[in-house]
Amino acid sequence: MTPVGARKANGDELRVIGVPRRRVDARAKVTGQTRFADDIFLPRMAHSKLLRSPHPHARIRKIDTSRAAAHPGVYLVLQALCVDRVRHVGDPVAAVIAREELTAFEALDLIDVEYEILTTISSSEEALRTPEPRIHEYGEEGNIHKLVALEFGNVEEGFAEADEIFEDTFFFQGNTHLAIEQHAAVAIKDPDGKLTIWSSTQTPHYLHRALAKVLEMPAAHIRVIATPNGGGFGGKSDPFNHEIVVAKAALMLDRPVKICLTREEVFYCHRGRHPVLMKFKTGVKKDGAITGMHLQTLIDGGAYGSYGVASTFYAGALQTTTYHIPRYRYQGCRTFTNKPPCGPKRGHGTPQPRFGQEVQLDKIAERLKMDPADLRLRIAESSNALTANFFRLGTVNLAECIRRVVKVSGWKEKFRKFPEGRGVGLACSAYLTGAGLPIYWNKMPHSGVQLKFDRSGGVSIFCGATEIGQGSDDVLAGIVAEVLGIDTFDVRLFTGDTDLGPVDLGSYSSRVTLMAGNAALQAAERGRAILRDAVAEKLEVPKERLRFAERRVFDSAAPEKGVTFQEAVCLAEARFGTIGTVGSYTPPLYKGGGVGPLRPIPIPPPLLKWK
């Protein structure tokens, strides 16, 4: 592994960022003290279990919960989770809340449900063939949830220019996150009558909004605390029925209510990788240059939308980010089927077409008698390029990545040279840092951070960002400590709590380091400016000369002249009053339109005939 070289910020050597050290949450994790949602035990706590549909598609004719409600130890039975219809095996129908988890589980058997079985749609192909019955009343038509059709440049012209045309069909089977922690949530009615819920969610802000809507209560009276997630990978991004159930039950019973899903339930909650059938048509010149690409996807979305609209766009978004593709057409189609809903999993929508694209490229290299690494090097896209579909690439170093992998792996000595049964393979990818738009469109920041500077010299960070194992707490602490010249141990974190911290949209889309990180950077720099003014006045040193390092604020021209960080906070507090700063981050809007033709095209192709 390459050692991270010494880097500089504002002329100073970095002391925290890029320097190997223990994560701020490491000690809690190796001592078992990290409190995950199911580790919360409260006095008088009741337990909840959900009755889930045994049918993939059925109308609910009648539910009788009287026997369950009369069962000893049962406090409450909630129904109408799925109001009139179940759409996949595992879709929740009713909930039992009882003194013991086992009692709740037993009482599920005492709920009588009468179903009217409806036609089951088990695949995307079937969904296209079977417009009725519709699994949902919304969507494009029949059982098509979302169609995307975009063309950037004239792809047919590109094919006409090509020396060779490659047409390949691929299938990517769905798979799931398998985070080891099962989803869990605990809700209480606060002593003052408001609601608090702890949940293993990656997106406390979206859960906050969903709870307010479903419970029909002001969001201001709901507090969502995202507990550290025992693995997320996208699977804990949707607001879930079980979260609504414990919240509702806690309000009704005025006692804490917990739920922890079984592993089998987690498999049926899913929201994982979509099965995708895809077809690539790519035109290339003899030298490997791509003249145009047409991608079609048929995406099996399962029974609900989840973030499926985004998934459908994502599946066609990133093809142009690695190699120069001057003309590009994408047609995506997400269908509803009677299976657990698919959703965001690490790479959200993009690994499937990336698989097809990179395997096809391998075939292209073979036909053109080129080394696959050389081909990729020849067509690699570079920094700051504007892609056909109007992505302005940021910093891209794909060519150097390929060269390094070729060198370190000994590619040239191995490719097509191993004996039968051994082989090497090469593939590339790129990914975006953060999504430009929130799930509900608005002009507010995507992430906010508040800092509180204490007279003790301690700094508290308040932010909605959610620790799912990726180290977001450590990123925030590291950035703040770096800017203020203190140690991460001097920092306290209050994260993932909608009452304590400003909104962060959640741990998805690789957005937290960029967005919460920039918000933390801004808040810390604002705090540093306040402290610097106070210290400059006290020391009678020009403020530009002051440096923050080693828990001190000192004159860079005469390092012995300075004050401790704690003294700096006290000086600032005496001078300006209580010290607190905020920072926020809103993604920039890139204006790239008008460069080329962009016209939506209908989805006609007989996708069914692919296989």
Partner 1 sequence: MTTLPIESQKTSQIRFTLNGEETDVCFAPYKTLLEVLREDLGHTGTKHGCELGECGACAVLLDGKPVLSCLVLAVDCSGRQVLTVEGLGEDGNLHPLQDAFADLGAAQCGYCTPAILVTAKALLDQNPHPSRDQIREAISGNLCRCTGYLQIFEAVEAAVLKIAAQKSTVT
Partner 2 sequence: MRGQVEGSVYMGLGEALMEEQEFRRLPKKLSHALVHKFPSILEYKSPTSLDMPEVTTELIEAPDPRGPFGAKEVGQGPLLPIMPAVANAVYDAVGVRIDEIPVTPEKIMKALAE
Partner from partner 1, partner 2, none binding residue 100, C-beta < 5-8 Å depending on class: partner 1
Taking Cα atoms as reference points, which of 187, 306, 304, 180 lies closest to residue 232? Answer: 180
Nearer Cβ to partner 1, position 338 or 488? 488
Provide the β-strand partners of residue 195: 189, 222
What is the per-residue DSSP string for 113-174? Answer: EEEEE-----SHHHHHH--SS-S-S-SSBTTEEEEEEEEES-HHHHHHH-SEEEEEEEEE--
- Contact partner at residue 25 from partner 1, partner 2, none, CB < 5 to 8 Å by partner kind: partner 1
- The CA distance from 530 to 535, in Å, is 9
Residue carrying structure tokens 């079977």:
130
| Among 36-44, 268-276, 389-397, 510-518, the segment contacting partner 1 (CB under 8 A) | 36-44
33 binds partner 1 (CB under 8 A): yes
Binding to partner 2 (CB under 8 A) within 456-475 occurs at 470, 475
> Which residue of 3, 8, 11, 41 would you call a contact of partner 1, by CB under 8 A?
41
The answer to the question of residue 264 lying near partner 2 (CB under 8 A) is yes
> Could you say whether residue 529 binds partner 2 (CB under 8 A)?
no
Is residue 470 involved in binding partner 1 (CB under 8 A)? yes
Query: If contact means CB under 5 to 8 A according to the sort of partner, which of partner 2, partner 1, none does residue 377 touch?
Result: none
Q: What is the DSSP string of 233-275?
A: TTTT-S--HHHHHHHHHHHHHTS-EEEE--HHHHHHH---PPP
- Indicate whether 596 belongs to the interface with partner 1 (CB under 8 A): no
Spatial distance between the Cα atoms of 225 and 207, rounded to a whole number of angstroms: 10
Q: Is 607 helix (H, G, I), strand (E, B) or coil?
A: helix
Q: With respect to partner 1, which residue has the nearer C-beta, 300 or 473? A: 473
Nearer of residues 57 and 329 to partner 2, judged by Cβ: 57
Integer Rg of the chain from CA = 28
Site for partner 1 in 182-221 (CB under 8 A): 182
38 closest CA partner among 175, 180, 250: 180
* Nearest distance from C-beta of residue 234 to partner 1, angstroms: 12
Which listed option, partner 2, partner 1, none, makes contact with residue 313 (CB within 5 to 8 Å by class)? none
Q: How far is CA 29 from the centre of its chain?
A: 22
**122 forms part of the interface with partner 2 (CB under 8 A):** yes
Q: Which residue type sits at 20?
A: P
Give the list of residues 6+ apart from residue 108 with CB closer than 8 angstroms, or none.
49, 50, 51, 68, 94, 96
For partner 2, the binding residue among 75, 152, 172, 307 (CB under 8 A) is 172
Nearest to partner 2 of 103, 319 (CB atom): 319
String marking each residue 324-343 x if it binds partner 2 according to CB under 8 A: --------------xxx---
Segment lying near partner 2 (by CB under 8 A), choices 42-50, 65-73, 168-176, 213-221: 168-176
3-state secondary structure of 581: strand
What backbone torsions phi and psi does residue 354 show, to the nearest 5 degrees?
-65, -40
x/- site string to partner 1, residues 251 to 270, per CB under 8 A?
-----------xx-------
Smaller CB separation from partner 1, 200 or 566: 200
Residue 6 binds which entry of partner 1, partner 2, none, with Cβ cut-offs from 5 to 8 Å by kind? none
Does 520 sit near partner 2 (CB under 8 A)?
Answer: yes
Q: CB under 8 A: which stretch of 209-217, 237-245, 291-299, 402-410 binds partner 2?
A: 402-410
Q: How far is the CB of 74 from partner 1 (least distance, A)?
A: 9
What are the residues facing 164 on neighbouring strands?
284
Should residue 268 be labelled a site residue for partner 2 when binding is judged by CB under 8 A?
A: yes
Q: Give the pairing of strands 222-226 and 195-199.
A: parallel
